[in-house]
Structures are given as structure tokens and as C-alpha cells.
Amino acid sequence: MDMKSNWKAYGMWLLPLLFFTGQFVLRLWPGLMMQDIMRQFKIDAAQFGLLASAYYYGYALMQIPIALALDRFGARFVISACAMLLGASTLLFVNTQSWPLALASRFLIGAGSAAGFLGTSKIVSEWFPKAQYTHMIGLSFTVGLLGAIYGGKPTNQLIEWYGGPTVWSMIGWVTLLLGGIIFALLRRPHAIEEVDDKIQVHDLKSALSSRHLWVLAIANLLMVGTLEGFADVWGVNYLMTQYHFAKNDAAQFVSCIYLGMVFGGPLLALISQKFGDYKTICLCGLGMAFGLWTIIGAMINVYVLTSLFFGLGLLCCYQVLVFSVANELAAPKHLGITVAFLNCINMLGGSFFHTMIGRIMDSFWMGTLDQSARVYSSQSYQYGLSVIPMSALLGVMCVYWLQQVRKKKS
């Protein structure tokens, strides 16, 4: 690849990468606005959990359709359309007082976000040599996590300065503009090679018929609560309630989880070389369960709290190893649809945890109100969030069973 082509490839990669990074900010939105959203729509914790879940339903259900559409229509059309859908849905949410429309718009935000990572991966595969694919995907994921980091304290600071509706409207309009720029500038390479490994609908049957793959997918769902349950939505409000932190400080603590994830992938890859993928995933699950129980079960000083959050971020990267195991379980020609399937089930984990946490919290609500919005005690949060470490342990049991079965077969 000559210098001119190299710069052009990085330019093409930057366009979907900006979209991938920005969608993380909208993913974390409910956690920063919990009380405001509950007041706006006059809802309780269970309904708030349903609202947070709608994003993950949209994201999960669109994984396979987006993967198919990227092969059929190309990255330019699909990514730009999803960016515009994301921007329009954000503006709809900000400007509606209707609960059904709020749920629908949050679902569409998730559906639009589904093209973030898949679209970036598609562009990398088209514009970069195969030898650079793994490096560029790792770099994409690292840069994308900056959206999650800046979606915490920096975004909350903007909300305090300008107000939530103004900030989210601005993000909606910028996302719409980005969709237009992507459509205008994104291109395919002139000499792109036509490959014979495009995802086909009938390949899905092969993925769904594998019992071992289903066990892996369910284990992944059960272990994802630390990230999609605690870090994405409930962590900030729990820290504000339990530790009486200001929202900015609580958001900064939770951002340490995403900071840990920046380093977790390479670290766990090294550890798995010594212990193997299955054992390393089990160790991560046990570590996440222990870390979450420590955080929600006792008052600890801020230095230990910071270290625990960073450590949890490292452990959350067990998902990298899940895809490595999937590579072992799936035939090479079915790997693309297998990854889409695992992503689909993985994101449904967010829906599961938000729904369960909200319902449990409501059952322990003491009747306290603040401007018509329910206020939940530390105990309510602790009972609700305890579903995360318990589920992680169940996930570890699933992975251990799968390891034993695979060991017998081999």
C-alpha cells in the first residue's frame, strides 16, 4: 500500500470510527439522566429498566440484519443510514412526552448503533491488508472506548452547564450531520477483491443448531452484567446513593471500567496463552463476581474503589476470548454469522439485567419521592445489583461445563 493509498484508507476508516465512538455516548445516556427521565415520563425503576433495555433489544435484533445488509448494499449506504436513524431517534426522544414514543426512539437508537462496530469492521476488511486486520480492529475498539470514557464525566459536565435537552439535541444534530458526511465521502476501494465468504441467511441455521454455541452465548449473556448492567446505566446512580458522590465524580469512577477495558484485551490474550481460553474466562467471571459483591456489599475508600473499577474493566474483556472459543466451535465459513449471533445474544444481556434490576429495586422501594420521581435507597440498589454477580457465577458454571465436554470430545 503506497503512502497516498495508506492515508486514504485511514481516512475511510475514520468515518465509521467516529460513528462507532459517538454511539457509546448515547448508550450511556440513561445512566446520566435517570432522575430527569423518571420525572419526565413519571415512571418507576422497572419502567426505567425497560427503557434502558429497549436500546439493547434494538442493538441485538439488528446485528444479523446489519451484517447481511453490509454485504448486500455496502458500508456507505448502511452506515450513513444508521447514523441518520440514530440522530433522528435521539431528537425524537428529547422532544417527546409520550412514553410509547420514548420506548420506540430508544429502541431505534439501539438499532442504529448496531452498525457502529460491524460497519467499522467492514471498512477495515475492505481498505486494509489481511495482515493488518486484527491490529486495526483492536485499535478501533480502543478508540471507540474513548466514547464511553467521555460519555461519563465530560458529558455530564456539559449537561450541568447547558442542560440535558440542549446537550442531547446537539448530539442528535451532529450525528445527523455525520451521517450525511459518511454518505458523501465514504467509498469502496477501486480494486476490492470479491470474496466468497459473505454471510448467507442459510448459514444462520448452522449456528443456531450448535448446542455448544448456545451454551457459550448464554454464558456470555450471564457474565456481561458488569458492563451492560452496572457500568452502562446503574453504576452512577448507585455511587451517588451509597457514597453520596456528586454525579460528576460518580461518572468518573464508572469511567474507570472503560479505561480498564482499553488495556484488558491484550492482557487477557497473554494470560490465556498460559491458562487457555476457557480457564481465563472462568477466572474473569469469578473476579467480576467478587469485585461487584465487594462494591455493593461494603463501604470502601476511594482508592480501593478506583482500583476495583479499573480491574473490573480489565476482566470485562473476557468477551475477546469468547470470540476465540467461537472460532474453535464454528466452521470457518460460518464464523461471520457466528460472531453476529454471539453479539446478538450478548446485547440481549443488557435487556435482561436492566429489567431484572429495575423490578427488584421496585420491590424494595420505601415510598420516597422527589418531585414525583421515586427515590431508591442504597439497600434497594444492593438487592437489585446483586443479580449481576450471581449471574456471573452461573456463566462461569456454563463455561466450565463446556470446557469439560470439549475436553472429553478431544
- Tell me the percentage of the chain whose pLDDT exceeds 70: 93
Strands 373-374, 369-370: pairing is antiparallel
Q: Which of 103-112, 119-128, 383-392 has the lowest mean pLDDT?
A: 119-128
The DSSP call for residue 196 is: S
CA dist 48 and 54 (Å) reads 10
SS3 373: strand
CA dist 399 and 215 (Å) reads 8
Cell of 317: 474483556
The answer to whether 255 and 345 have CB atoms below 8 angstroms apart is no
331: pLDDT strictly greater than 90 = no
Q: How confident is the model at residue 194 (pLDDT cuts 50, 70, 90)?
A: low
CA dist 138 and 267 (Å) reads 13
- pTM of the model as a whole: 0.82
Q: What is the CA radius of gyration of the chain?
A: 21
CATH label, 1-198, candidates 1.20.210.10, 1.10.357.10, 1.20.1250.20, 3.40.47.10: 1.20.1250.20
State the architecture of 199-410 in CATH terms: Up-down Bundle (1.20)
The answer to whether 393 and 292 have CB atoms below 8 angstroms apart is no
Q: Kindly list the domain boundaries of the chain, sorted by start residue.
A: 1-198, 199-410
The tens digit of pLDDT for each residue in 19-65 reads 999 888 888 888 888 888 888 888 888 899 899 889 999 998 998 88
Residue that has been written with the C-alpha cell 483492536 in this structure: 138
191: pLDDT strictly greater than 60 = no
Cell of 66: 446489519
Of 208 and 274, the structure prediction assigns the larger pLDDT to: 274
Residues with Cβ < 8 Å from 276, sequence gap 6 or more? none
2: pLDDT strictly greater than 60 = no
Q: How confident is the model at residue 182 (pLDDT cuts 50, 70, 90)?
A: very high
Q: How confident is the model at residue 15 (pLDDT cuts 50, 70, 90)?
A: very high
CA dist 326 and 338 (Å) reads 7
* Average pLDDT for the chain: 86
What is the C-alpha end-to-end distance of the chain, expressed in Å? 42
What's residue 350's pLDDT? 85
What is the arithmetic mean of pLDDT over 188-196?
A: 60
What's residue 17's pLDDT? 93
- Tell me the percentage of the chain whose pLDDT exceeds 90: 40
Distances in Å between the Cα of 215 and the Cα atoms of 209, 223, 325, 401, 409 are 11, 12, 12, 9, 16
The DSSP call for residue 333 is: G
Topology agreement, domain 1-198 and domain 199-410: yes
283: pLDDT strictly greater than 90 = yes
What's residue 155's pLDDT? 85
The tens digit of pLDDT for each residue in 73-86 reads 989 999 999 999 99
Cell of 402: 463446556
Half-sphere exposure of 223 (CA within 13 A, CB side): 33
The DSSP call for residue 370 is: E
The answer to whether 259 and 316 have CB atoms below 8 angstroms apart is no
Among residues 380, 27, 26, which one has the least CA distance to residue 228?
27
3: pLDDT strictly greater than 70 = no
What's residue 198's pLDDT? 58
Cα three-residue angle 284-286-290, rounded to 5 degrees? 115
Q: At what angle do helices 45-61 and 99-113 cross, to 10 degrees?
A: 40
What's residue 133's pLDDT? 73
CA dist 212 and 298 (Å) reads 37
Of 219 and 324, the structure prediction assigns the larger pLDDT to: 219
Residues with Cβ < 8 Å from 13, sequence gap 6 or more? 120, 123, 124, 127, 128, 136, 140
